[in-house]
Amino acid sequence: MKTASLLYALLTCLTLPAQAASLVDAAHASAQCVLTSREPALRLIGDATAWQALSAEGPLPEFVTEPDWQKQTILVLTRGVRPSAGYALSLKAEHLQGKTLVLDIAEDTPPAGAMTAQVITQPCLFLTLRKQGWTQIQIRAADTHARLGQVRRQP
C-alpha cells in the first residue's frame, strides 16, 4: 500500500506541467504616476539615460530603484487620470507567447458608495522585468483579456 501511494505521488509530480519562472522581479503600485501624460500610457525604460529622463519628469516613488540595466528593464504603466482616491493597478498574470511577454493587468476601483478623497489621482504600476526570452510586451485587461497596449524592447 505504501509503495503504491509513493508511486502514485511520484507519477503525479512527474506529469504536472512545469511552472515557468517569473520574468517579473518586482511590482510596485503608486497612486500618482511620474509620467506626464493624462491619458493611458506605457513606457519601457531600458537604460540609465531613459531612467534619468523619467526621473526628470517628476519624483520617482521611493520603492522604485534603478535596476541592473544589463539584466533588467522597467515598465511603467498608467491607465490615465482618475477622479478620486481608491484606484490601483496590479499585475494578475504573466506568460510568454512566443517572443511576446503578455501581462494581465487589473484596475481596482473604489466600491460603489465608498467614501474616498476627492482628489485627482493617476494610478501607476512599475514592473522590474528580466530581459530574457521576450522582445515585446503586450498588456491586457485581466478580466476581459482586451488588449490595452504593446511596446517593443529596443536592442
Q: Rounded to a whole number, what is the distance in angstroms from the first to the last CA of the chain?
A: 57
- Is the Cα torsion angle 68, 31, 134, 104 positive or negative in sign? positive
Share of the chain above pLDDT 90, in %: 68
Q: Contact at 8 Å (CB) between 58 and 11?
A: no
Q: Give the model's confidence band at 126: pLDDT under 50 very low, under 70 low, under 90 confident, else very high.
A: very high
Q: Contact at 8 Å (CB) between 142 and 104?
A: yes
pLDDT in tens, 88-123: 999 999 999 999 999 999 999 999 999 999 999 999
The answer on pLDDT for 16 being more than 60 is no
What is the pLDDT at residue 3? Answer: 42
Phi first, then psi, for residue 150 (nearest 5°) are -150, 145
What is the pLDDT at residue 43? Answer: 94
The answer on pLDDT for 65 being more than 80 is yes
Q: What's the mean pLDDT when you consider all of the chain?
A: 86
Helix or strand run (H / E) with residue 41? strand 41-45
CA atoms of 110 and 133, how far apart (whole Å): 36
What is the pLDDT at residue 13? Answer: 35
Lowest mean pLDDT of 2-11, 15-24, 44-53, 125-134, name the range.
Answer: 2-11
Average pLDDT (17-43) is: 83
Average pLDDT (73-100) is: 95
What is the pLDDT at residue 20? Answer: 63
The answer on pLDDT for 5 being more than 60 is no
